[in-house]
Structure 1
Amino acid sequence: MEYVVGIDGGGTKSAISILDLQGNVLFTGRGGPTNIRSEGREKACENLKNLIVKSVEKMHLKLGDCRAICVGTAGAGREEEKEIITNCLKEIGVKGNIVVTHDAEIILSETIEKREGIVIIAGTGSLVYGRKDGIEKRAGGWGHLLGDEGSAYYIAVEGIKAALRYYDGRGNYTKLLYMMMERLNVKRPEEFIGFVYKDGITKADIAELAKVVDEAYKEGDKEARKILEKSAKELFKLAKAVIEAFEWENDEIPIVVTGSVFINNEFVFKEFSRLIKRYYPKANIKKLDKDASYGAAILALNFLKER
């Protein structure tokens, strides 16, 4: 049976969808992170290979019957990373058409009519991408050292900083110190250094601590609330840059939000939505209601139809 494959390659986990040539879903699954910038080339390729091979084997399909595969992952709009991913796929025997693009593209292709609108991703990292009249604009996506404002990594690091400021006596009281120490199973605050700078620690490992900030907020912690408010504001600023670049201020803007921060943190989603509606009342905001790997598979299928 001939088929297409779509992959949403995240920094924390990845998803796969396999469709037949009529667009029917044959299989969906999950795997390890396949983002090169967060995992490194070797680990990301290993995870990508395992995800594809195991999924195909489960369905008793042949790799040689894969007509097209689309991988959407942060940073893959850059030629160097496209080449790495393409070579990785060829190594496992993919002979069909290969499409490599960034993660926002696969979301836009699935959720917005005519593929025009804005996608805001706030997962391990953060990015805003928009398209109008064939023109593309983006803001963010610079990685955790240069950006990723509003992301899970950003929230986690801000949480650690607030905890250590309190420990030093130069910051306000926060439950974050004790809650993070408990989550990491460390006895002394000095051990945060060993965790953050340990060999092999990934951006995704640190981003997991964003959950602790959300838990502290729900327990009434004021410093945790400030961090989440800052996250929402930073995400709004990213969206604002793209909205105003397109001069969409007074239009009915289709906006899709996705990523662990929006999906798991209701406060950030509501605060972000409040800011958008305050300045752009005609905007239509929705959370992604399907797996982004499905959008990648649709892109792969459309690629075949357009040839």
Structure 2
Amino acid sequence: MTEPAFVLGVDSGGSGLRAVLGVPAGPRGSTPVRSKEPVRTGPGGIDARHMTEQLTPMIRQLLDEAGDGRIVAAAVGAAGMATLGEELRAELPSALAESFGVRRVALAADAVTAYAGALGQRPGVVVAAGTGLIAMGTDLTAWRRADGWGHLLGDCGSGAWIGRAGLEAAMRAFDGRRGGSAALRARAEDMFGEPLSDLPRQVYPRADRPAVLASFAPEVGRCAADGDPV
């Protein structure tokens, strides 16, 4: 009896890592497994070793749950792949081949894999909005993108962008400056503790800063729903 052949799907974004096994031309795949720790970036871009360290036990769990089979191909969608993917391109395929015998690996930006999942081989536009934000469109002859420049340079309208704006308003209220929000200050103090002057120490050293900023976005939404003008 021939053992089942699987395709591994991986999504790497600002809020963590997800992986799932699918059967080519078959029914829906396995239940995804998740890691809430985002893959780090370093001088070489996306940290391939950090992704491999997280992904390896996730793949083993998926294979154990499947009971039998082998991975014949992998498709990886990673946030920042277009501009920060050099190290990942150089190291991840060989790591997957060595550990799991994967011989075919497709690496793409997460916006491209989101487009493929939503529209397939049709012209159109997809807005991928989460911790970050990017819009991607194609007429199948050329691609256009807008934003996706990360939490320091763009991602306008993303969770990190909204959360950062809310925390900035909270700090303005803490300082007594114009444009502050007492309501957002109170929410920030509940979430991050008092005094707010300690907030930079909690945020700046973190490798997952976009996720930390995005975690405050729901509080901004609640304040908006309660009528806070900021």
Cα distance in 1 for partners of 2:207, 2:116 equals 35
Distance 1:143 1:91, change over 3 A: farther
The number of residue pairs the alignment matches comes to: 220
Equivalence map 1:229-248=2 (5 Å): none
2:73 matched to 1:68? Answer: yes
1:31 corresponds to which residue? 34
- Check conservation: 1:108, 1:115, Cα contact below 8 A: no
- Any conservation in 2 of the 1:31–1:47 contact (CA below 8 Å)? no
Q: What does the per-residue CA deviation read over 1:18-38, in whole Å, with 9 as the maximum and x for residues that have no partner?
A: 222332223121311454549
Q: TM-score, normalised by structure 2?
A: 0.85
Residue 110 of structure 1 deviates from its aligned partner by 2.4
Tell me which amino acid in the other structure corresponds to 1:5: L
Q: Does 1:104 align with 2:107?
A: no
Equivalent position to 1:131, from 131, 135, 138? 138
Distance 1:68 1:26 in 2: 14
What secondary structure, in the 3-state scheme, does the structure 2 residue paired with 1:119 have? strand
Q: Deviations over 1:224-256 (max 9, x none)?
A: xxxxxxxxxxxxxxxxxxxxxxxxxxxxxxxxx
Secondary structure in 1 aligned to 2:9? strand
Q: Which residue of 1 aligns with 2:175?
A: 168
In 2: Cα distance, 1:202 partner to 1:173 partner: 22
How far off is 1:214 after superposition?
A: 1.3
- Structure 1 Cα separation of the partners of residues 204 and 89 of structure 2: 29
Query: CA 1:208–1:17 in 2, change beyond 3 Å: closer, same or farther?
Result: same
Q: TM-score, normalised by structure 1?
A: 0.65
Distance 2:55 2:108 in 1: 15
Q: Whose helix proportion is higher, 1 or 2? A: 1
Instruction: Quote how far apart the aligned CAs of 1:131 are.
Output: 1.1
Rounded Cα–Cα distance in structure 1 between residues aligned with 2:49 and 2:55? 10
Whole-angstrom CA distance in 2 between matches of 1:147 and 1:187: 29
2:148 & 2:220 partners in 1: Cα distance?
Answer: 22
SS in structure 2 of the partner of residue 128 of structure 1: strand
- What's the secondary structure of 1:77's corresponding residue? helix
**Among candidates 174, 178, 190, match of residue 182 of structure 1:** 190
Aligned to 1:22: 25
2:82 equivalent in structure 1: 77
Contact 2:125-2:137 within 8 A present in 1 as well: yes
8 Å contact kept, 2:132–2:159? yes
The verdict on how the C-alpha distance between 1:129 and 1:176 changes in structure 2, with shifts beyond 3 A counting, is same
Q: Is the 8 A contact 1:116 1:133 kept in 2?
A: yes
Contact (CA 8 Å) 2:114, 2:126: kept in 1 or not? yes
Structure 2 residue 156 is the aligned partner of structure 1 residue 115: no
The reply to whether residue 50 of structure 1 matches residue 53 of structure 2 is no
Unaligned runs of 5+ in 2: none
1:13–1:30: 8 Å Cα contact kept in structure 2?
A: no
Identity across the alignment (%): 26
**Shift of residue 91, structure 1, vs aligned partner:** 4.4
